[in-house]
Structure 1
Amino acid sequence: MATAVVRFTAAALTDRGRKRPSNEDAFGFSVEDGVYVVCDGMGGAAAGEVASSIAVDEVLRIFHERNGSAVLPRDAEEAVETANQAIYSRARRNYKLSGMGTTLVAVVVRSQHVWVLNIGDSRCYRLRGGSLEQVTLDHSLVEEQVRMGRMTKAEAARSPMRNMITRALGTQGQVTPDCFNFDAQPGDLLLLCSDGLTRELSDSLIQSLISSSLPLEQRCSRLIEAAKKAGGHDNITCVLVQAD
């Protein structure tokens, strides 16, 4: 049986939200190189902005330099490790940036093959056949408690520890991303987002907002505006990747 030819298009949007004085999220993508990235930085004195920007730039740079010759998932994991080292080294050289770090969620595609890597609590979702599925697993204290059956989803949402992540890029000399892979089908829609979106909107509302025939840019805008209307307590970033 012949394999379907899958082509990808994408759109993205980020917003400071309604409460934060600056935007420490960063995103980037290259349809030509088949890579899409969202990062949510952390650290005082604008260090979070530095960390998230470094991570996005490094991952995009590596895949651009490989010029389609990357061996997956090995080179994707190498790109994440290179970004980690760049952030960690920068923080060690500048005490004002000490302790900075960032989450990362990245999608890399080759033909119909999709690899998803994540560190922290930025997420990747897949909308297929009208059903929304969370591809990644959060590296956060409360979500790990939920997975072990020690806390309910409702308790996790109310917990004062819900902002604590257990894995971040750049805070240590080495870090290991989770890696997931699947074959894309025509019609699949991937959503990469920071927790500024998922803290405000339920999965069912996210699904309803992206399940339309509107252009990807408008669907991104709908997500951002809904999250702001719900409170906008954090920076909000989303990248939508459509398989056609």
Structure 2
Amino acid sequence: MELRTAGWTAGGRLVTATAGSVVGNRYPENYDVLHLDTVRPLAVVADGMGDGPGSTAAGRTAVEVFVRQTAAVTGPAALRAAVAAVQRAVREAGRGIDGLTGCTLTAFISGGEAVSGRESDSGRGSDSGRGSGSGGESDHAGGAWIVQLGDSRAYRLRDGVLELLTTDHTAAWLGVLNGWYAPDSREAWIGRHRLTRYAGHPGMPEPDLLNVSLRPGDRFLLCTDGVSDQLDDRVLAGALTGRAAVPELLEATLTAGGADNATAVLIDVS
């Protein structure tokens, strides 16, 4: 189990993060890609689609390009432009690769800087990228942005209540939301892994962007579906309210069967 830590200031708050990932029992390697920045408040999670070379190429490309493209700015227009650059890069990376090249992309990003003496462990995606970005936008009200493309999720625990902040971009989510079929139906089960938006999609869909405030005591969780599919919301709520750490969450996914790669980032605000 690889663990990374980082500390930043954002909106006048101290923000600390811990992240980790496990392979699980289904796949021989990890197709999740994790970035925890050493310089600024930025955490990114990508989950490759499938278990082939296209999955590996998509996740690595998406994270590298997003980190580079957001190095200078974090406003909504710049974030959309960064994800558009990710889309183009992932599609280009898939040229010549048999099968699908695609991945999810979920990020927590804010203006700010690293706290002296805290930095993430070395490893894939741990170094901060630098790029030109676009525009000159600043963060809204000193909060943070959640960027979402796919079904890796972002949760927030505030005042003892766990909320799912993101929407799964899946056929199952659309079907249940629009009443096409019941949540426990066979159609919903089949559709839960049919992504309607992802990095590498031929239609280049835009991400969801959510601006959130940062309050002392807030706790954010970014995770791939290897966490959210194996640990239901009641289990997650109990674990996060009890101040469970990343190793405990990831160990719980293994206890639940380890049916997928699982990656989690816990972000605490004080």
> Structure 2 length normalisation: TM-score?
0.79
Q: Which of the residues 6, 26, 32 maps onto 2:33?
A: 26
CA deviation digits over 1:177-208, x for unaligned, max 9? 01111211111111110001111111110111
Task: State how far apart, in whole Å, the 1-side matches of 2:186 and 2:238 are.
Answer: 23
Answer yes or no: is 1:243 the counterpart of 2:250.
no
Task: State how far apart, in whole Å, the 2-side matches of 1:18 and 1:157 are.
Answer: 26
Unaligned runs of 5+ in 2: 1-10, 113-141
Task: State how far apart, in whole Å, the 1-side matches of 2:13 and 2:38 are.
Answer: 12
| AA in 1 matched with 2:225 | D
Q: Which residue of 2 aligns with 1:78?
A: 81
Contact 2:18 2:265 in 1 (8 A): yes
Corresponding residue SS for 1:101: coil
Q: Which residue of 2 aligns with 1:130?
A: 160
Contact 1:142 1:156 in 2 (8 A): no
CA deviation digits over 1:87-124, x for unaligned, max 9? 111212x233x530001111111363111111111100
Q: Which residue of 2 aligns with 1:90?
A: 93
Corresponding residue SS for 2:167: coil
Contact 1:34 1:109 in 2 (8 A): yes
Contact 2:143 2:211 in 1 (8 A): yes
Q: Which of the residues 234, 238, 244 maps onto 2:260?
A: 234
Task: State how far apart, in whole Å, the 1-side matches of 2:155 and 2:226 are.
Answer: 15
CA deviation digits over 1:51-77, x for unaligned, max 9? 11111111122233x2xxx15112122
Q: Which residue of 2 aligns with 1:37?
A: 44
Contact 1:156 1:162 in 2 (8 A): no
Task: State how far apart, in whole Å, the 2-side matches of 1:138 and 1:24 are.
Answer: 19
Change (3 A) 1:240 1:120: same
Contact 1:37 1:104 in 2 (8 A): yes
Contact 2:175 2:188 in 1 (8 A): no
Task: State how far apart, in whole Å, the 2-side matches of 1:225 and 1:24 are.
Answer: 18
Q: Which of the residues 179, 195, 217 maps onto 1:149?
A: 179
Shift in Å, 1:33: 2.1
Contact 2:25 2:257 in 1 (8 A): yes
Unaligned runs of 5+ in 1: none
Shift in Å, 1:163: 1.5
Task: State how far apart, in whole Å, the 2-side matches of 1:80 and 1:195 are.
Answer: 20
| AA in 2 matched with 1:54 | T
Corresponding residue SS for 1:190: strand
Flag the structure with higher helix content: 1
Contact 1:35 1:63 in 2 (8 A): no
